[in-house]
Amino acid sequence: MRHVIVNADDFGASSGTNRGIVECHTRGVLTSTSMMVTGAAVEEAVDLSRAHPELAVGLHWDVIGEDEREFDLDDHGAVRDEFAAQLERFRELMGRGPTHIDSHRHMHLDDSVRELFAELAAPLGVPLRGDGQVRFVGNFYAQWEWGVTDLEHVSTRALLEIIREEVHEGWTELSCHPGYVTADYTPMYRHEREAELRTLTDPAVRAAIDELGISLESYATYARAAGRA
């Protein structure tokens, strides 16, 4: 059986990001999201998650934001402290732990902290992006070259190709970054988010998933399937 989780990064980053993620969940194929407890609109994200309880919410660990502030990953004490602080903040906001763990710009996959993050995530008993529990596919993205946009990579055609060719037996996460452009949030990856939103809410995508016999799941349903509810 093939199971696919469609997961959006950056929940809480801005009101436009929050709105786009929820719209892709209610009108499209998005099932899960990763929340930035450091985000300017994180309280709104929490309220939206409570209004949409089927949307699984994990922790999007963030130490650089969009201003690329410096953080020394070689300082493992600082990494441990920041992980503990953000996890505690997540629990305070959500009243529970995260359904999964990942990080902004895949910082946790850096060679200097990869093993440390595996250690930090293990007691939580939830998937850590890249740990092999759920296969990660991240090529639904419009900037394959930093700062160079090609919206064809986030077109319906491109997403259908990814679904047909990269969702194999077992569990797969397709990551995405939908959202609406707002004046208060100006990341490098900005207008591309609205293009992703259009694709993720295209009825042809859900129809293809159903026709291929793929089960559309979330990180919450993964936990139940794995006996971790």
Asked if pLDDT for residue 229 goes beyond 60, the answer is no
**pLDDT, mean over the chain:** 95
What is the widest separation between alpha-carbon atoms in the chain? Answer: 49
Query: For 137-150, how does the pLDDT look when each residue is reduced to its tens digit (9 = 90+)?
Result: 999 999 999 889 99
Asked if pLDDT for residue 100 goes beyond 70, the answer is yes
Q: According to the model, what pLDDT value does residue 115 have?
A: 96
Could you tell me which of 110, 107, 14, 33 has the C-alpha nearest to residue 68?
A: 107
Q: Considering the entire predicted model, what is its pTM?
A: 0.95
Q: Which residue numbers are catalytic?
A: 9
Residue 94: domain span: 2-225
Query: For 113-128, how does the pLDDT look when each residue is reduced to its tens digit (9 = 90+)?
Result: 999 999 999 999 999 9
Rg of the chain over Cα atoms, rounded to whole angstroms, equals 17
Q: According to the model, what pLDDT value does residue 124 have?
A: 96
Q: Mean pLDDT over residues 56-80, rounded?
A: 88
Upper half-sphere CA count for residue 40 (Cβ side, 13 Å) = 12
Residue with tokens 């949307």: 55
CA–CA gap between residue 7 and residue 174 (Å, rounded): 6
Query: For 125-140, how does the pLDDT look when each residue is reduced to its tens digit (9 = 90+)?
Result: 999 999 999 999 999 9
The structural domain count of the chain equals: 1
CATH for 83: 3.20.20.370
Q: Mean pLDDT over residues 192-211, rounded?
A: 98
Q: According to the model, what pLDDT value does residue 228 have?
A: 59
